[in-house]
Structure formats: C-alpha cells, structure tokens
Chains A and B, each alone.
Chain A
C-alpha cells in the first residue's frame, strides 16, 4: 500500500516538475544569453497585446486586466490598459507619464531611486537585457513554455516590494513572452504577452499624451 501511495505521489507531483523545469548548465546559459543579446540588438520596436493576472492568496480567481505594450529602442516603453479601465504609462528617459482615464500627470523618477529601479526593471525585461543587473541573483531554467530566468532581489529596499522576478523567453526568437513579479507575501503579478509584432514601424506620437 505504501508503495502504491508513493508511486501515486511521485507520478502526480515530482515527475511533471522534472519534466517541466530543468536547470541550464553553463554552456546552455552562455548560448541562451547570446541568443537574447542577438535578439535584443536586432529589435528596434515591439508591439504586443498583454493579459495581466493579479494573484492574491485570498481570492479564488486572479484579477485580469488587458492592454497593449509598445517598445521603441533604445528606451521608450508604453503600457496601455484598455480593459476593464483606461490607464496608460509611458517611460521616457527619467520621466514617467501617466494618463489615468484622461487625467494626465508626470512623475520625475530622479526623485525616487526605487521608482527608477522599478521602471528600469520593466524596460530591461521587455528588452531582455536584465542579466547584467547587479541587484539580482539569477538562475536559468529550460521549461516547456520557454527558457526561464529567475531574478532574486539583492537590494534590501526593492526586496520589500518584489522578492523575485521571472522572465520566460520564447525558445525560437528569444523574446520575452511572460513576466512574473513575486511579492514577499507570495502574491504575484503575471503578465502574458500575445500577438507580438517585432520591428514594425511605430509612430513617435504613440509615446506622448
């Protein structure tokens, strides 16, 4: 009986984990990093839809929001939530421009180091160039969905907000397909990109309100 139980537990829990996630070896990490560096050096623009899931432990269902992302190299990023509310953010140099359902404002990120760090995280994760950050301990995995990198915060201030950060890259084109930000409580925000278009022409007017 014990054996049957053990087999049951193993087949449902351990095997799928082994099959789904495997730590990369040194050579695989080097190849993967090169692939991402190549992809990001040839990416001038990204246009993508996204679905954001906010998971809170006390809710049965995640809170789901929808929107679009635009990126123009070297450092213009616009997040636009379209459903269930209208809210856009543009990261432009040291400024964060906000349009909250028609109410526009701007935040000078120079005033807040933490804010700057969070915005750099967003820009760098879209670009896929986070690996050189000194603020994180990184580990690399091969999963069914794609290549996954886990970034664990070393910065004490950032740690209070995000303990770790996960990026999943498409195995073929090495672009980011999923972002997950995990808070100290274990609650997390997951962003899944869909309908991605690379290097299409994006008008500059998109990055202003």
Chain B
C-alpha cells in the first residue's frame, strides 16, 4: 500500500504542470506580447564560432545568420576552412535546404534544425500566462503547437524552454547578451542528442 501511495505521488509529480514543478507564481499578464529581437536586425551579419554535437559527432565551424527581409532568414554553417556544411533558408512558413553535406542529410536532423531556428527567429509571441520568481519573469507562450516558456531577467530574455507533458525538452540559453545582440548562446536538446553552441566573433 505504501508503495502504491509512493507511485501515485510520483505519477502526480511527473504529471504536474511545468510552473507547478518549478514553483512559479502566476501573476497578472500585463505584457500581451513577448519579444525576441536577437536576430531581428537586417543590417547586421550575425557571425558565430559554432560547435555542433550530434550523436557523439563533433562539428566545428562558423555559423552565419542573416535577416534578409522581414520573415526571411538565411543560416549557413561552414567549417573553419570555409567549406559549407549546411545552408538553410527560412522564408515565411517555407523552409528550404540550399545545401547540406550528405553525412548530415537526415530528415530528423533537418526537422530539428528547422524548428530550432524558427524559434530563434520568432520576434514576437502572444503571452498566455505570466509567472515570476525572485529574480525572473516567465512568459508562457504557444509556438509551432508546442508549449514554450520565455524566461526574462531585468527585461532581458535569458532562456527559452520547450516543455512537453511538464518536462523540459529543449533549452535555448542566451548566456551572454549585449542589448539586442546574443554574444553567446546554447541550444540543448533533452530528448535528441543535439547541442549547438555559438559564440559571436
């Protein structure tokens, strides 16, 4: 009987919503929109030293992001010596693979990259609920049919967390930022062996 109670507790805890698990306190939603402007300046070339770890394989190189026009981004990953690894276009709701080396030409990976960059390039999202902790204000939004939490600290976006069934599935961490420039960021997947680290150069 004791085991049954314990198991039930475990089930209840694991089913608890993300805000409950994190003991987040819901507050009134005054900001109806949350903005992510890290890749919003079409005048800028966003160039990063990148490292991508995928299923035990390490790929190093440069990642170049350019906002060509509103809702139009280009992402190119090259080796340090300049050879292209992938080249992707995000135009409106369309996603186009301009180039990818055959070793990485896998549907699962491409779908994941498509989703990751779409989130990074989403400049505005509608806030469904707002929570706070001692230092942070957290905004719950729905993007691409998934549940996301935008974590802010003193009005700076520090994290975007994708949550499914109460669990963190993916974390975008903006480690170092200066105004609207993300100087260092990491995208870590919890259910897919993929981590992307970017440091601005």
Contacts and interface: CB of A to CB of B under 8 A. Distances in A.
Given A54-B78, A181-B82, A63 B64 contact: yes
B contact face: mostly helix, strand, loop, or mixed? strand
Contact of A161 (B58, B83, B87): B83
A100 interface: yes
B84 A187 contact: yes
Interface string A164-206: 0000000000000000010111010100000000000000000
Interface residues of B, number: 24
Interface of A: 52, 54, 56, 58-61, 63, 65, 79, 81, 84-85, 87, 89, 98, 100-101, 105, 118, 160-162, 181, 183-185, 187, 189
A162 to B, nearest CB: 8
Contacts of A183: 84, 99
B45 A61 contact: yes
Contact of B74 (A58, A60, A105, A184): A58
Nearest to B58: A105
A126 B104 CA distance: 30
Contacts of A98: 60
A56 B76 contact: yes
Contacts of A161: 83-84, 101
B167 to A, nearest CB: 31
Contacts of B60: 87, 98, 100
A185 B87 contact: yes
Interface in B41-65: 45, 47, 49, 51, 58, 60, 62, 64
